[in-house]
């Protein structure tokens, strides 16, 4: 049987890296079309590849083509899913997506359609990495101890992503391959020198359960180019230097002898390892074409592998934003969606959200939020900057929590509750640093539609009635009736409010048979003993 014809490939994105893909696809006889919304890019493509068509939108890409995506990273997941759903094989440059939860739909679409989904982890196709992998699998290095990688250069400075996302995916992918799986723990530190919020240099540590560690140092603020991977084993050490003119992979059979209980190094001469001189990008594009010809065969960097690398990147970003606090990778490394990845849930990359937190559709989790495993958050909520939600907290639907609020175990917020900036919930009445009062934690229930003003303090054990309004800075030390307006320290009732939040013309002390009409919504309210009730129209 003759070999299938060379697949035709449409390239989406003709930026600097897309032009490298175009060059290699064209050399392999596969470039059929270039798609880019920029008319200047289309003109360049038409000039350089006159035999290939050009178009401006994905909808114009012919359905029969395979697709290679080299668009901005923020568009990777959207474009990949669009073409997979159209039944087209897809190669997408790293990263596969910007959020872990965007990966499962891509993986499932490719699986359901019997399609190729390949991710551009270029180093998987470097001859030196293949040779290094063979050395490890063959036992030449013995049991792995640790790896370190330096990917350093001066420029190219980015403003749309930091050095971690720009450089580290390559080395993370290789580390996972050589060790044989994702790590348990990730820590990352870095420095922002050219822009206060964009890290120019980062150092990421990956830790595996078996004791193996990998250190990945990336920077675009370095006086010279360095791309070096060092792998240390019990029996030997290997160095992959991609900037070396020759002998890119060298084996050192160094050892350690013990003399009188003291370790003494035993050095050996370096042994260059012969490797092919093929261009890695040419090999990567050839691997994609081969996969399109034979889609039933396994792909080295498939969607699941892309998701694992993305999970490590996301964990490293969280650790970086938390000034090096370790992040347990846990279920993020598995090729399965998180429980809170419901349709429409938006989680900022700086947020830390437990894999077993329950979050309803439409909820938005903003910068530096921490939601622990076990927390339950309803639909269409908004958690502002620096909010903390403990594992035993319960939030209803449409809750709005402003910046710098901590919601502890035992706090229950009803539907439509508003928590103003820096309002405080306590969980102990008489806290002492030296006295364990876990058995004395109190609960706090906030009724439907209630408002807690900025800097208000709610002492635990006191319920806030539905539609009550706690003024800014108030300290609640006793239960608050429904619809009551309370202010001061300690908080006292000074009036009554409608469901819409408008203050009613009623005295603070309930007077039977007194009634008032809301100036905003025209609802009519009257006192009935100590309660406020809506009067019949």
- Please tell me the class of the 9-122+281-297 domain: alpha beta
Q: pLDDT tens digits, residue range 143-179?
A: 999 999 999 999 777 766 788 988 999 999 999 999 9
Residue 334: the pLDDT is 40
| Residues 386/404, Cβ–Cβ less than 8 Å | yes
| Distance from C-alpha of 199 to C-alpha of 201, rounded to nearest angstrom | 6
pLDDT, tens digit, for every residue of 358-389?
Answer: 888 889 999 889 998 778 899 999 999 999 99
Sequence ranges of the domains in the chain: 9-122+281-297, 124-277
Summarised one tens digit per residue, pLDDT across range 312-366 is 998 998 899 888 989 987 544 443 344 455 557 888 878 888 766 788 888 999 9
pTM assigned to the model: 0.62
For 51, the token pair is 């035999």
DSSP designation for 234: S
In the chain, the percentage of residues whose pLDDT exceeds 90 is 65
Q: What integer is the mean pLDDT of 121-135?
A: 94
| Contact status, residue 178 vs residue 323, Cβ threshold 8 Å | no
Can you give the pLDDT at residue 454?
96
Asked if 429 contacts 441 with a C-beta cutoff of 8 angstroms, the reply is no
Beta-carbon contacts of 360 under 8 Å, excluding residues fewer than 6 positions away, are: 342, 345, 377, 378, 379, 380, 381, 397
pLDDT digits (tens, 9 = 90+) for 416-448: 999 999 999 998 888 888 887 766 778 899 999
Q: What is the DSSP letter of 439?
A: G
Name the one residue in this structure whose structure tokens are 């114009």: 60
Choose among 281, 282, 280, 294: nearest CA to 89.
294
How many other CB atoms sit within 10 Å of the CB of residue 277? 7
* Cα gap 106→81, rounded to integer Å: 6
Q: Which CATH number fits domain 124-277: 3.90.1310.10, 3.40.50.620, 3.30.360.10, 1.10.1040.10?
A: 3.30.360.10
Tell me the per-residue pLDDT of 34-89, one tens digit each, with 9 for 90 and over: 999 999 999 999 999 999 999 999 999 999 999 999 998 889 999 999 999 999 99
Reading the block at residue 432, the tokens are: 């002492």
User: Cα separation of 198 and 218, whole Å?
Assistant: 13
DSSP state of 410: T
Closest Cα partner for 282 from 16, 25, 6, 12? 25
Return the number of other C-beta atoms located less than 10 Å from residue 16's C-beta.
Answer: 9
Task: Copy the structure tokens of residue 371.
Answer: 């939601």
């Amino acid at each position: 049987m003759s070999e299938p014809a060379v697949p035709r490939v449409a390239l989406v994105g003709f930026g600097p890296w897309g032009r490298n893909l175009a060059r290699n696809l064209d050399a392999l006889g596969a470039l059929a079309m270039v798609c880019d919304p920029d008319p200047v890019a289309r003109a360049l493509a038409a000039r350089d590849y006159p035999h290939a068509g050009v178009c401006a939108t994905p909808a114009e890409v012919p359905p029969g083509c395979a697709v290679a995506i080299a668009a901005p990273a923020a568009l990777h997941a959207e474009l990949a899913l669009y073409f997979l759903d159209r039944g087209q094989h897809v190669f997408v440059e790293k990263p596969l997506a910007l959020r872990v939860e965007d990966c499962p739909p891509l993986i499932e679409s490719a699986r359901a359609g019997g399609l190729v989904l390949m991710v551009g982890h270029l180093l998987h196709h470097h001859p030196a990495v293949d040779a290094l992998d063979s050395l490890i699998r063959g036992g030449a290095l013995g049991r792995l101890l640790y790896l370190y990688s330096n990917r350093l250069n001066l420029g190219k400075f980015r403003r749309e992503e930091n050095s971690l996302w720009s450089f580290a995916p390559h080395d993370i992918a290789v580390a996972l391959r050589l060790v044989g799986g994702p790590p348990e723990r990730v820590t990352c530190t870095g420095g922002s020198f050219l822009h206060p919020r964009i890290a120019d240099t980062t150092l990421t540590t990956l830790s595996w359960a078996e004791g193996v560690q990998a250190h990945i140092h990336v920077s675009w603020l370095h006086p010279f180019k360095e791309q070096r991977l060092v792998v240390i084993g019990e029996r030997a050490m290997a160095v992959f230097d991609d900037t070396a003119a020759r002998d890119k992979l060298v084996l050192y059979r160094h050892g350690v002898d013990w003399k009188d209980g003291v370790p003494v190094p035993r050095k050996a001469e370096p042994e260059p390892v012969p490797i092919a001189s093929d261009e890695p990008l040419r090999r990567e594009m050839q691997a994609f074409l081969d996969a399109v010809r034979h889609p039933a065969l396994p792909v080295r960097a498939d969607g699941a592998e892309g998701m694992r690398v993305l999970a490590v990147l996301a964990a490293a970003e969280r650790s970086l934003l938390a000034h090096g606090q370790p992040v347990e990778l846990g279920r993020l490394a598995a090729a399965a969606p998180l429980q809170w990845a419901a349709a429409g849930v938006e989680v900022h990359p700086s947020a830390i959200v437990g894999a077993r937190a329950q979050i309803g559709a439409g909820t938005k989790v903003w910068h530096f939020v921490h939601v622990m495993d076990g927390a339950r958050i309803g639909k269409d909520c908004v958690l502002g900057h620096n909010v903390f939600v403990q594992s035993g907290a319960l939030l209803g639907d449409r809750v709005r929590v402003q910046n710098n609020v901590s919601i502890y175990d035992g706090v229950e917020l009803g539907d439509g509750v508003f928590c103003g900036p820096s309002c405080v919930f306590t969980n102990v009445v008489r806290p002492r640093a030296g006295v364990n009062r876990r058995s004395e934690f109190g609960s706090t229930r906030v009724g439907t539609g209630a408002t807690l003003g900025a800097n208000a303090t709610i002492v635990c054990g006191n319920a806030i009635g539905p539609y009550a309004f706690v003024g800014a800075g108030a300290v609640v030390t006793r239960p608050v009736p429904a619809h009551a307006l309370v202010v001061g320290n300690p908080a006292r009732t000074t009036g009554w409010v409608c469901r819409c939040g408008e203050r009613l013309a009623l005295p603070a002390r309930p007077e039977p048979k007194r009634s008032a009409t809301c100036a905003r919504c025209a609802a009519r309210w009257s006192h009935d003993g100590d309660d406020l009730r809506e009067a019949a129209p």
